[in-house]
Structure 1
């Protein structure tokens, strides 16, 4: 019996790969990359060291990094005498101060240190030291791993999520065993992870009813009820709010929506006059809302910020009879974030959450005389930085 290995037939060479489709092939998905415009650099100059961070957008006050970004550049050490170690430290912290009760919280979301140079037989500290550090994308949030939150600030709640890069120059011990304090320089950083929706929103030029019939799976339906007052003889109004099924939109996206009211003609008459007009019995309003919540020692504080008002118009000016003997009133509209100060996505960590909502609000203009009670219905969505269809933004 032979003890050698069995004979194998050599494999065929691997085919040449090309990103360009061959004859009979087609692209299923293609995510084009934009040419980076990060041609500038950031400099922080002190008496002891100059920190230079490259690949930055010109004119920015702080260095900006995205998800998985690389912090690269170099240090120029001005006085290398007695230096025994050069270290950089990347830190991130969520700071919460609830003024009403004095409760405070500091949560470290990032704390990593790296030694760039340490004294040894190779000689004194070099005058120039390169930096290359990959920005982490996740952190341990007490009980689970989460995406690292973006830089954030909320003045109403005195809450922030901030990051900084610190350079430490450790010195040799002086006479009498005393340790000379390390020279340091700290640079605030902005963490701005970019995110896109997983799919495009429904085309807003398409009429709702044909779109709903041909592609019902493209719409998310959320239902609620506007109740009549006890003294009223009118019946309740069933409300259906339709928004694109993806429920993840860019801050710049125009989000289409459709509202259908289902009730008796007498009840709908109170609504029809209020759509798009403050003179009606019940005004109809759709808007984008960002809700921020913080938690300190089981105490919760919240703030609400309206990001954009929806424009509503009646699709059908006449009431449409239904099979159940009731009637329907249809309204189309669109809403977009109009708050230029908001440019970051929503996110959630253990003690801080930033959530986005589309809110349908029905509000009687004269509550004491109205036949209906005020109603507010919120649908959770997520607002992100980039649109689905556009070219990736330069980072």
Structure 2
């Protein structure tokens, strides 16, 4: 039996590692044709990057493929393929190289500033790959031992999730992100990612390392599961009621005011999908209904579109200085940080909406009976500020959540109505849904 195995072993061809697979592109190349294609959502960038990014540090450099031309920082999305080469300068003595290592690192740094300031660093990626080692046998076709090559390729896929040491639940890998809220307590959070090439060299006295590293942006892309309804609320609510989400509340008169005033029913409508791209204009509709007497009191004291370019279209602009109610719609984000049994939440304004009265104009007929019911309507849109480039995410100790808020706020202590807020959670994602 031993003799048979020896004969078979002698007949086997010598093995050499295969070359890396070619880069994939969804675009047809010269001489190719697309026979079938599945429709999908329209992404922010339809072009496939073909450029390279190179970072030099001393005698070594790292080159990353499939990057946009002339970028300052490389970037990757979900399931991103980190591929490229670690390049050695000819001045390096390759016979002295002990090993070449490629590392991928991701960290979340969290700080809560208070009377008892606490900080924490969470590793979400800590992967290391040995690309070349003198301990491993490397032979050329003649059977001679080879030195470390001048260009060492690498290729790996970014993970999409991570786990904490104290649990089994997986969390999505958070995007590159940084936020800083001052005050007491203060809140600071930063998600960073980096690629690192390490060359270990044998010296006459001791071994030393040459390191080249570069940060990269991780931006996982997501799109809504369906498009935003394109028709107005009043023209579609009866035929397509499932396309609209409704939140309701009561605008109550302040106790001790005019006893003839009753509460007003407030309805806040927005698209039922409640998932929107960062560059989407989010439509909404507001209906306030009740007795004529209560609506007259409300109408005579409310102002809106204070920060909107369409302020000139508001019929209330000329008398805004005497009004005691402010009606607004805003897009807000809440960031939560948990560090060592401390939890802090901070909110910020990331978009200001418009409000426009829906025809017919708001003119209350003085001949109508004060107890009759009537409905007033407004519509508008809100959009994220341009600097917002990260959607919602949850990484346990750090999360960012978004919501729309409709608000009616009194301006003075001599108010007729109590304050009102309607808060609707939404999800902001990177891409807009557009069907081909």
Same fold (TM over 0.5): yes
How far does the alpha carbon of each residue in 1:67-109 deviate from its partner, in whole angstroms, 9 at most, with x for none? 1111111111232242221111111111111122311111111
Q: Is the contact between residue 332 and residue 403 of structure 2 (CA under 8 Å) also seen in structure 1?
A: yes
Aligned partner of 1:11 in structure 2 is none
Alpha-carbon distance, 1:173 to partner: 7.2
- Structure 1 residues 271 and 59, CA gap change in structure 2 (3 angstroms): farther
- Structure 1 residues 286 and 32, CA gap change in structure 2 (3 angstroms): closer
Alpha-carbon distance, 1:172 to partner: 3.7
Aligned partner of 2:122 in structure 1 is 107
Alignment root-mean-square deviation, CA: 2.4
**TM-score, normalized by length of structure 2?**
0.77
Is the counterpart of residue 45 in structure 1 residue 56 in structure 2?
yes
Aligned partner of 1:9 in structure 2 is none
SS of the residue 1:362 aligns to: strand
Larger radius of gyration: 2
Q: Which consecutive unaligned segments of at least 5 residues does structure 1 have? A: 1-16, 21-26
1:161 to 191, 198, 202: 191
User: Where do residues 82-121 of structure 1 align in structure 2 (5 Å cutoff)?
Assistant: 82-100=96-114, 101-119=116-134, 120-121=136-137
How far does the alpha carbon of each residue in 1:268-290 deviate from its partner, in whole angstroms, 9 at most, with x for none? 22433425354533221001111
Aligned partner of 1:3 in structure 2 is none
Aligned partner of 1:192 in structure 2 is 219
User: Where do residues 164-179 of structure 1 align in structure 2 (5 Å cutoff)?
Assistant: 164-172=194-202, 179=206
- Structure 1 residues 377 and 174, CA gap change in structure 2 (3 angstroms): farther
Alpha-carbon distance, 1:314 to partner: 1.5
2:364, 2:102 → 1: CA distance? 68
1:319, 1:125 → 2: CA distance? 86
User: Where do residues 1-395 of structure 1 align in structure 2 (5 Å cutoff)?
Assistant: 19=36, 30-31=40-41, 35-78=46-89, 79=92, 80-100=94-114, 101-119=116-134, 120-122=136-138, 123-141=146-164, 142-156=167-181, 157-172=187-202, 179-203=206-230, 206-232=231-257, 233=259, 234-273=261-300, 274-276=302-304, 277=316, 278-279=320-321, 280-315=323-358, 316=360, 317-318=362-363, 326-337=373-384, 339-366=385-412, 368-389=413-434
Alpha-carbon distance, 1:18 to partner: 5.3
Give the total of aligned pairs: 359
SS of the residue 2:284 aligns to: strand
- Structure 1 residues 238 and 181, CA gap change in structure 2 (3 angstroms): farther
Q: Is the contact between residue 319 and residue 327 of structure 1 (CA under 8 Å) also seen in structure 2?
A: no
Q: Which consecutive unaligned segments of at least 5 residues does structure 2 have? A: 1-33, 139-145, 182-186, 305-315
